[in-house]
Every structure is written in structure tokens, then in C-alpha cells.
Amino acid sequence: MTSTVTRPPYADVVDLDAYPIHRLDSDPGQALVARCRAELAADGVCNLPGFLTPAAAARMVALAEELADRAWRSDQTHTIYFEPVDDTVPAEHPRAHTVRSAKRGIAYDYIPPDAPLRRLYESDDMTRFIAAALGIATLYRSADPLDALQMTAFHPGEELGWHFDRSEFSVTVMYQQPEAGGEFVYVPGLRTADDPNYAGVQAVLQGDPSNTRVLPSAPGTLAFFHGHNALHRVTPIEGARPRINSVLTYGEVPDMKLNDLTSQLFYGRMSR
């Protein structure tokens, strides 16, 4: 009797030979999880080049162009902590320092159900893989109708200013790099829960490059990043071609949604 193996609905999206997320209990699956955990422990980041098939990455680029008129364009200044400026400290102090972030976000509810990344994001296999790679027992997809999975385009002159993430981790997928600029630059472990390391943070903000790293991000790359204690940015885009990527939102509690203020800031409308 011949057995058949059912192809996952995202088999055209992920290179399953290199990244067997549908078979995490297999030896190759366990090796993949071990690789991710080791890279995260060593560097605070795990980079998986070629995770997406070239066709899936190209389709997401085309989709970003098709939905360009629905993208919410934001251009704002903010502190690296996403908190109000602290007027009680000197102007050069990190809590008084402001940066610029300018980007265009396409919300989850605009991404069609058959889009490659939406099919992948909504699969339980992907959720289990993300949880296993992060060493988290149970992980949930976001319940936010705008923020669960979004696409971001950075056009010429746009950038993401230095900041620490409010969440412990982020998951991103790269679709297209610009002609120049648009580098993801980070400083791993710059602060801890017990030490904000204001002197070290201030040195980076004033241009000290000694501990900065650039994360390679070719089209199709999936990346895990511990951004809560790693200062990071995306440098200004140069050339005509935009930088396009997605952020996949997960958390350890169910029914996660943005608050109204953050929803308005990121998408120009309320998520509920």
C-alpha cells in the first residue's frame, strides 16, 4: 500500500527542503530549530536566507505595488524608547534624543487571503516553528485585524530611526532591498533589564560605530530578532527602488490587539 504525503498549503511559499517547518519532529526539523536557538543565543538574531521561494518573494513585491495607494504614510519624530521626551535630562541624554521614522504600512486586512505570506502566517505549522525557534512553549498569532501581518515599504529618503522594541522579539521577512541604503543596523545587548547603559546608548546615538552590526537581508530571508535590548535602525533609502518587507506578529497571550493610539499611529485608523 502506497502512502501519500499531503503538501502543505504553503508549499509554494517556503523552501521546505532547506527549511522543513512542516516536519519539526524529524531530524532535519530538529536541526533547524537547534540552529535558530543557537544563533539567537549567540547574536540575538537568527537569519534564514532563502526561506521564501523566489516566486513567493516576487509576488509579495508585486502585491505591495498593487496596494501602494492603500499604504498609510507616516513621517514622525520620536524617542528611541517610544516615550515622551524627558525634559529633566540634558539634551544629549538618550531619553531626550529624538529620531525620525518615515515609512508606508499596508495593513493586514488589505492583504488578500491567497497572498503567499498571508497563507504562511495563518498556518499552524509556521506558528509552531516560530515558537520552537524562540524556545516558547505556546505562541499565538495576533488577533489584530490591521497589525497581525503587515507590509512596509520604505521609499527614497525614508528610514526607521534608532529605537529599542517594546516587545521581546520580532519576526520579519524581506522581499526587496533598495539600490542603496536601507541597511538594518543593530547593536546587540546594549542594555539589560538591570542596566539601561545610557552612556553606551548615547555613544551610539552620537555616531560611535564600534559595536554596530549590519544584518544581511537578501530577498526571501526570514529573520528572528531580539530587539528589546538591541538598539537598531534602518538607514535612509537611496535610489528609486523601495525596501519592502513584512513583520509577522506573535505573542504569548491570545487575542492580542493594538491600542487605539498605536493603531492610529501605524495605520491611520482604529483596529477595533
Element (H, E) at 38: helix 27-43
CA atoms within 13 A on the CB side of 106: 21
Q: Identify the domain containing residue 250 by its residue range.
A: 21-267
Give the chain's domain count. 1
Q: Does pTM surpass 0.95?
A: no
128 lies in some domain: yes
15 lies in some domain: no
263 lies in some domain: yes
149 lies in some domain: yes
pLDDT tens digit string along 31-54? 999 999 999 999 889 999 999 999
For 138-149, give one letter per residue: b (16+ CB within 10 A) or e: ebebbbbbbbbb
Residue 3, pLDDT above cutoff 60: no
255 lies in some domain: yes
10 lies in some domain: no
The residue among 215, 238, 170 whose CA lies nearest residue 49 is 215
Q: What is the pLDDT of residue 267?
A: 84
Q: How far apart, in whole angstroms, are the C-alpha atoms of residue 99 and residue 188?
A: 19
161 lies in some domain: yes
Number of C-beta neighbours around residue 44 at 10 A = 22
CATH code where residue 124 lies: 2.60.120.620
Q: What is the largest CA-CA distance in the chain?
A: 76
pLDDT tens digit string along 103-117? 999 999 999 999 999
pLDDT tens digit string along 139-179? 999 989 998 999 999 999 999 999 998 888 999 999 999 99
Q: What is the pLDDT of residue 5?
A: 57
Residue 203, pLDDT above cutoff 60: yes
